[in-house]
């Protein structure tokens, strides 16, 4: 499942301490003077919680310990970023050595604050060439202003699931590749039921649906969120206006926002057997690679396929791109065993066999060039579509920011107003959005 949706418990002591990322005393400093060949126990915190996922990460640890018999890994599962932040701010002997986050949004904070150590010295010391090991997009979302404080540990790529039976019924030969084709296909696949309801919608563009947060589809335009000085530039980018124009046209082509929202209210939970794509209420659907395994497990009653999401007509040559994110791994600044911790991080993120085995086990996209080319990977062509999206040079991840994902939340709130028709002056609204994002960034830096 998409890992950012997994709930996690917060240790009572840490929650009571009220130690958050900002406004806290400098934490204790760790050490990179340890000998990684000496006996040591590492504390490893991660967020996986589903039994199959926990089993897969425990098997990964077993493989690591066989290669490094002097290192014992004590794993703690189901840990949130909030808990990690609190522990690293508090420091002390109970804080972790190696940490895994399920969101790239906080990388900017981790790097900028020094809470996660710079990994470049460790890579240089052990001969790991990051540019030859990891795709550039993944390196971009694991660094901030030149500091590589994390490395990718599997990835998530977003594409378009489509109902092949519905396509055949509508006489559509292949998935749409451009936004103009997308709008036509969505309208053709939409089946009304009465005046203001539906049997099926071609594509639900509304931003509150499941994984439809506005940054996901916006990636198809290749936006640049910030200028060279770090200022928000959404109001200055023509792509922003074309994006909102296109999403509004998708809404209008299928009956309007009010009717679509009414229909969306009938959808079941995203992770349940009543998921709207699984039940046939959606003919096309934006989602990540994990959905394929869930469709197989649920024995979907229709033939389905996967394709990249369409791109703007004037960027047709970028077709194949998509939104990319993923899990990231790093070393806590307070760890006194940073060299041993690096051995674990290097194994989990850069050992080809390990990355392949883990990707197959939890059905996520491999995060190294070598693993992506491995013949041992799951051969399902639908799953491999996401590999190609990840490797596409035009694919985009959200740029790290010093205040985490606050600007993404602000964009989302603005997008809700646009789609509902409450934002009458788009240019004015975007300029106000830029001002808000800039003000939030300044506040985070002070």
pLDDT in tens, the chain (446 residues): 454 443 333 333 333 333 334 434 344 577 889 999 999 999 999 999 889 899 999 999 999 999 999 999 999 999 988 888 888 877 777 789 999 998 888 898 889 888 999 999 999 999 999 999 999 999 999 999 899 999 999 999 999 999 999 999 999 999 999 999 999 999 999 999 887 789 999 999 999 999 999 999 999 999 999 998 989 999 999 999 999 999 999 999 999 999 999 999 999 999 999 999 999 999 999 999 989 989 999 999 999 999 999 999 999 999 999 999 999 999 999 999 999 999 999 999 999 999 999 999 998 999 999 999 999 998 788 999 999 999 999 999 998 887 778 899 999 999 999 999 999 999 999 999 999 999 988 887 76
Residue 347 CA to residue 287 CA, distance in Å, equals 29
Residue 395 CA to residue 254 CA, distance in Å, equals 28
For residue 284, the cross-strand partners are 162, 203
Q: Yes or no: is domain 158-318 CATH 3.40.190.10? A: yes
Strands (E), 146-269: 151-163, 191-193, 197-203
The answer to whether the beta carbons of residues 332 and 98 sit under 8 Å apart is yes
The tokens describing 330, both together, are 């790093």
Same fold, 3-156+324-391 and 158-318: yes
Residue 272 CA to residue 195 CA, distance in Å, equals 29
Cα–Cα distances in Å, from 4 out to 327, 356, 359? Answer: 9, 22, 17
The answer to whether the beta carbons of residues 185 and 172 sit under 8 Å apart is yes
Residue 338 CA to residue 326 CA, distance in Å, equals 23
CA 389 to chain CA mean position, Å: 13
- Domain boundaries in the chain? 3-156+324-391, 158-318
Residues in the chain, overall count: 446
Strands 197-203 and 191-193: antiparallel
**Residue 431 DSSP code:** H
157 — phi, psi (to 5°)?
-120, 145
The tokens describing 201, both together, are 């919608």
Contacts of 236 (CB under 8 A, 6+ apart): none
CA 198 to chain CA mean position, Å: 31
Q: Say which CATH topology domain 3-156+324-391 has.
A: D-Maltodextrin-Binding Protein; domain 2 (3.40.190)
The answer to whether the beta carbons of residues 304 and 161 sit under 8 Å apart is yes
The tokens describing 116, both together, are 């996660």
Residue 366 CA to residue 38 CA, distance in Å, equals 31
């Amino acid at each position: 499942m998409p890992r950012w949706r997994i709930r996690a418990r917060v240790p009572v002591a840490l929650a009571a301490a009220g130690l958050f990322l900002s406004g806290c005393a400098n934490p204790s400093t760790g050490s990179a003077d340890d000998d990684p060949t000496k006996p040591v126990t590492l504390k490893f915190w991660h967020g996986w919680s589903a039994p199959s996922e926990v089993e897969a990460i425990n098997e990964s640890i077993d493989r690591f310990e066989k290669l490094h018999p002097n290192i014992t890994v004590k794993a703690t599962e189901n840990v949130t970023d909030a808990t990690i932040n609190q522990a690293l701010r508090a420091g002390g002997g109970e804080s972790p050595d190696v940490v895994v986050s399920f969101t790239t949004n906080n990388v900017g904070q981790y790097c900028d604050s020094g809470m996660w150590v710079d990994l470049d010295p460790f890579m240089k010391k052990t001969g790991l060439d990051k540019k030859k090991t990891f795709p550039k997009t993944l390196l971009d979302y694991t660094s901030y202003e030149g500091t590589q404080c994390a490395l990718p540990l599997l990835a998530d790529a977003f594409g378009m699931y489509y109902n092949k039976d519905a396509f055949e019924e509508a006489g559509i030969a292949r998935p749409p590749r451009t936004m103009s084709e997308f709008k036509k296909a969505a309208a053709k696949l939409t089946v009304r039921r009465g005046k203001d309801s539906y049997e099926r919608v071609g594509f639900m563009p509304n931003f509150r649906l499941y994984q439809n947060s506005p940054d996901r589809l916006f990636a198809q335009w290749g936006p640049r969120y910030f200028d060279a000085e770090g200022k928000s530039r959404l109001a200055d980018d023509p792509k922003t206006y074309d994006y909102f124009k296109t999403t509004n046209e998708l809404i209008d082509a299928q009956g309007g926002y009010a009717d679509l929202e009414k229909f969306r209210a009938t959808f079941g939970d995203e992770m349940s057997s009543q998921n709207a794509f699984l039940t046939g209420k959606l003919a096309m659907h934006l989602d990540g690679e994990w959905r394929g395994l869930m469709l197989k497990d649920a024995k979907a009653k229709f033939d389905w396929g996967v394709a990249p999401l369409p791109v703007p007509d004037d960027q047709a040559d970028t077709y194949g791109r998509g939104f990319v994110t993923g899990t990231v791994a790093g070393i806590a600044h307070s760890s006194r065993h940073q060299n041993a911790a690096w051995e674990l991080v290097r194994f989990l993120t850069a050992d080809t066999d390990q990355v392949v085995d883990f990707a197959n086990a939890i059905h996520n996209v491999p995060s190294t060039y070598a693993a992506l080319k491995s013949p041992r990977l799951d051969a399902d062509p639908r799953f491999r579509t996401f590999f190609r999206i990840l490797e596409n040079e035009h694919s985009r991840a959200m740029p790290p920011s010093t205040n985490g994902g606050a600007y993404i939340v602000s964009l989302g709130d603005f997008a809700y107003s646009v789609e509902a028709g409450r934002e009458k002056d788009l240019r004015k609204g975007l300029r106000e959005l830029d001002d808000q994002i800039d003000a939030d960034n300044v506040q985070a830096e002070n």
